[in-house]
Amino acid sequence: MSAPQYIPGHQLLTGRTAVITAAAGAGIGGATARKFLEEGARIVIGDAHARRLKETEQALAEEFGAANVTSLPCDVTEETQVQALFAHAEQAHGSLDIVVNNAGLGGTAELTEMTDAQWSKVLDVTLNGTFRCTRAALRSLRSAGRGGVVVNNASVVGWRAQAGQAHYAAAKAGVMALTRCAAVEAAAYGVRVNAVAPSLAMHPHLVKVTSAELLDELTRKEAFGRYAEPWEIANVIVFLASGYSSYMTGEVVSVSSRHA
């Protein structure tokens, strides 16, 4: 089955400012950045790859206006860089309404062959990085007193077993638990915290770290017989960031057609 027709924006985020991590390139973060601009938001994008980040900022600024896009390199494993990203957002736009924690790192290794370094690197980017950014987001949103939204990027492997993914699955399960706990704490000051859990969204980095055989196997397990386009995941992130999900918090929304 071919991908559905691309859905244009409906101004669901007009006047709101969003921080999006790992937003350079053609993955879910980049798709989310574009969708947010199409929905009327101003965005601040971060990524550990400075050159790709600047190229992404320039391309989006040309299309949507320089006043609506700014960027700052940010490695989510470095607390000082996380703090700088959020300070930059407040300085650039005077307020912050939405944070999308998209940064994550995968890889494949059998548990018996996995090194401490492999385990720790995936956990530090995927779980600890989400923790650092969620903490910074909640501090900023609580201080502003205007409410707000945090959307974390989890994965269905946080629920489902998959060989070679012990580190990534553990990290994403942690993101789910972090989301639920943060939501309970943040409700007191009007901030909602939810997560998406994609199954298989195709992007260039996934191709680099996953074998063609495994990608074929995972694709066959999807009910539609195809992988998701990154913008299809971004559409659900838009929903969670918008007023249409105003009564949802602490939820992990599966964005998947997998049937086995």
> Which residues are part of the catalytic machinery?
168
Q: Which of 57, 61, 133 is nearest to 99 (CA)?
A: 133
Q: Return the number of other C-beta atoms located less than 10 Å from residue 241's C-beta.
A: 28
C-alpha angle 97/240/185, rounded to 5°?
Answer: 65
Element (H, E) at 35: helix 28-38
143 Cβ contact list (under 8 Å, min separation 6): none
213 Cβ contact list (under 8 Å, min separation 6): none
The three-state (H, E, C) secondary structure of 50-119, written as one string: HHHHHHHHHHHHHHHCHHHEEEEECCCCCHHHHHHHHHHHHHHHCCCCEEEECCCCCCCCCCCCCCHHHH
Sign of CA dihedral 16, 62, 28, 119: negative
Query: What residues form DSSP beta bridges with 187?
Result: none
Residue 95 corresponds to which tokens in the numbers above?
């307020």
Distance of CA 111 to the CA centre of its chain: 26
What single DSSP character describes residue 244? G
